[in-house]
Amino acid sequence: MIDYFRRRPAARRAALVSPAVGAILLFMVLPLGLMLIYSFLQRATYGGVIWEVSFESYIQFLFERDLDDSLIFNAAYLQIYARSFGLAAITTVLCVIIGFPTALYLVQQSPKRRNILMFLVTIPFWTNLLVRTYAWILLLRREGLVDYGLEAVGVTDEPLGLLYTDVANLIGLVYSFLPFMVLPIYSSLEKLDFRLVEAAYDLGANRLTALRRIVIPLAMPGIAAGCILVLVPCLGAYVTPELLGGGKALMIGNLIQQQFGASQNWPFGAALSFALLAIVLIALVAYSLRFGRGALTEGR
């Protein structure tokens, strides 16, 4: 057997990649295929599906049926998607604003201090997201630690009651996804040749010009990768909006969960999932077209 693979490099490569291909087919392609099929089936009365082809789930996304069975435009689900995109976009921007200076500070430290700081950045990955989100409930609840601190320093005169608002939702999302922004930006900045920055100073550039013309453009692949890593999970976030938002303002993840849970409308839940998947794929293709070629060239 060993001699067989030695004589046939193509067969050796196929044998090496076959476990990964099998895992992708079994755990990604197969479930997605089932979801796609379910999205084109009819809803059963008590959950499950009726095996008859129907486009009703995709029609329901934009329209509702009147008493005479005519279609009326319904923007309710579009508003949920718009709210989710808005919240995810704000979260991404805040993560860039916080994450970029953090990553820039990290790469300018000594190796020993840098390792310690990187360890601190990755600590949230060691704790379950559910536990961390419950901790934020204690902080943001009425007359909680945040309210107490703001009143103590004189910023507010009475409790703000941040819990179960969009602000609490936003705080939780930024906290949850900030490491996903810091790490790819750090990876890009770590490869940066800071002699270019020194050359810019020698040519008369100030700090802001060097940052704008040298550092940010060279860190852009990391910033873009961080935006993808934050934006995409934010769109489908479920735990944080459910616990910190109190389920008052639905996001896409909560809406999909409702369809597979209380509403027992599996085809519509599958259709919503595929609408979200299509949007994510468009974002990934856009990233690949913008930065993929440059990354490959850089890799050479």
The arrangement of secondary structure in 84-249, i.e. its CATH architecture, is: Orthogonal Bundle (1.10)
- pLDDT-based confidence at residue 297 (cuts at 50, 70, 90): very low
DSSP secondary structure of 110-163: -HHHHHHHHHHHHGGGGS-HHHHHHHHHHHHSTTSHHHHHHHHTTS-SS----T
Is 64:72 a contact under the CB 8 Å cutoff? yes
- Which candidate, 98, 118, 130, places its Cα nearest to that of 238? 130
Average pLDDT in the 59-71 region?
A: 85
What's residue 159's pLDDT? 81
pLDDT tens readout for residues 206-260:
989 999 999 999 999 899 889 989 998 898 888 888 888 877 777 888 889 888 8
User: What are the residue ranges spanned by the domains of the chain?
Assistant: 84-249
Q: What's the token pair of residue 133?
A: 């989100």
pLDDT tens readout for residues 69-114:
888 888 888 888 898 989 999 999 999 999 999 999 999 999 899 9
Mean pLDDT score of the chain:
87
pLDDT tens readout for residues 182-200:
999 999 999 888 899 999 9
Q: What's the token pair of residue 253?
A: 């993840």
With vertex at residue 42, the alpha carbon angle to CA 41 and CA 44, rounded to the nearest 5 degrees, is 130
Q: What's the token pair of residue 205?
A: 């550039």
